Amino acid sequence: MLVVVSIGGSVFSSWEIFKKYAEVIEMLKDEHELFVVVGGGKTAREYIQMARSLGASEGVCDRIGIEITRIHARLLISALGDCAYPVPPEDYEGARLASLTGKVVVMGGVSPGYTTDAVSAILADYVKADLLVSLTSTDGVYEKDPEMYPDARKFDSLTYKELLDIVTETELKAGSKGPFDPVGVKIAERSSISMVIADGRKPENLARIINGEKVGTFVGTVAVR
Ligand code: UTP
């Protein structure tokens, strides 16, 4: 199976988690073709905030965010060692070319105006992925923020349109947060890419999802699972 995996930067709370992801990816790499897109998380938000306070434009803030995502990509590449392509490609064509080496491709952001969620959806379309897995710091998509509303209902499955309604509230500002970037949802819908959004704080979830277990929230043309 060809799988694009988006790992939110908020998941990388310590160096050990890079190591755990490397172990899971190494276990899966012989049977599946994997592309991993890594986010910038808290570190990106802190640097973006500093740049904004210093008067930088949103586009410059985005550039700074992209640099942080690429540093995270380099950390995961370090943990993966020889089985990873040694540098994070800077665009989709570069990612495709890197994958021809047979190595796992790990990259960060690409261009201003969106987030690594959107990058993962564009990449999934570009390489014709069978599945897009988005690993974040919640265990799926909720009707409202589960941290503010403990009674919020979690969805087992959603259509792209339903997910879009949920994420449309997300601010299109450098460093903003939501269950998935709306640009990414539109891309996934356009190419009918099946998605699973699940808890990335448990790296083993990646193996469970690829092995067909029902984990997190499934998103597709029809909300069945
Ligand atoms: P992230 O993808 O990490 O954003 O990129 P995020 O939504 O904060 O995700 P988490 O917290 O990691 O899950 C960090 C910032 O880098 C810029 C954006 O400003 C984004 O908010 N960025 C990233 C881009 O402008 N373009 C890209 O292709 C990627």
- 45 CA from centroid of ligand 1 (Å): 8
pLDDT of residue 172 exceeding 60: no
Identify the pLDDT of residue 224: 61
- 198 CA from centroid of ligand 1 (Å): 18
Query: Does any ligand 1 atom lie closer than 6 A to the CB of residue 11?
Result: no
- 214 CA from centroid of ligand 1 (Å): 27
- The dotted CATH code for 2-220 is 3.40.1160.10
Query: Does any ligand 1 atom lie closer than 6 A to the CB of residue 135?
Result: no
Identify the pLDDT of residue 189: 96
**pLDDT single digits (tens) 144-168:** 888 888 898 999 999 999 999 988 8
Query: Does any ligand 1 atom lie closer than 6 A to the CB of residue 203?
Result: no
Identify the pLDDT of residue 177: 62
pTM score above 0.75: yes
Identify the pLDDT of residue 167: 87
**174: pLDDT confidence band, cut at 50, 70 and 90?**
low
Q: What is the mean pLDDT of residues 47-54?
A: 98
Query: Does any ligand 1 atom lie closer than 6 A to the CB of residue 66?
Result: yes
- 7 CA from centroid of ligand 1 (Å): 11
For atom 15 of ligand 1, which residue has the closest CA?
Answer: 65
**108: pLDDT confidence band, cut at 50, 70 and 90?**
very high
For atom 1 of ligand 1, which residue has the closest CA?
Answer: 39
Q: Which helix (H) or strand (E) holds 184?
A: helix 182-190
Query: Does any ligand 1 atom lie closer than 6 A to the CB of residue 119?
Result: yes
**pLDDT single digits (tens) 184-224:** 999 999 999 999 999 999 999 999 999 999 999 999 987 66
Residue whose C-alpha is closest to residue 97's, from 76, 131, 127, 120: 127
Q: Where are the domains of the chain?
A: 2-220
Q: Which parts of 31-155 fold into alpha helices (H)? A: 41-53, 58-80, 92-99, 116-126
- 169 CA from centroid of ligand 1 (Å): 17
Question: Which of the listed residues 46, 115, 167 should we mutate to test ligand 1's pocket, taking the one with most ligand atoms within 8 A of CB?
Answer: 115
CB 75 within 8 A of CB 107: no
**143: pLDDT confidence band, cut at 50, 70 and 90?**
confident
CA distance 153 to 221: 21
Q: What share of the chain in percent tops pLDDT 90?
A: 84
**4: pLDDT confidence band, cut at 50, 70 and 90?**
very high
Identify the pLDDT of residue 32: 97
**pLDDT single digits (tens) 57-94:** 999 999 999 999 999 999 999 999 999 999 999 999 99
* Residue 35 bridge partners (DSSP): 4, 105
Identify the pLDDT of residue 223: 64
Q: Which helix (H) or strand (E) holds 205?
A: helix 204-210
Identify the pLDDT of residue 103: 98
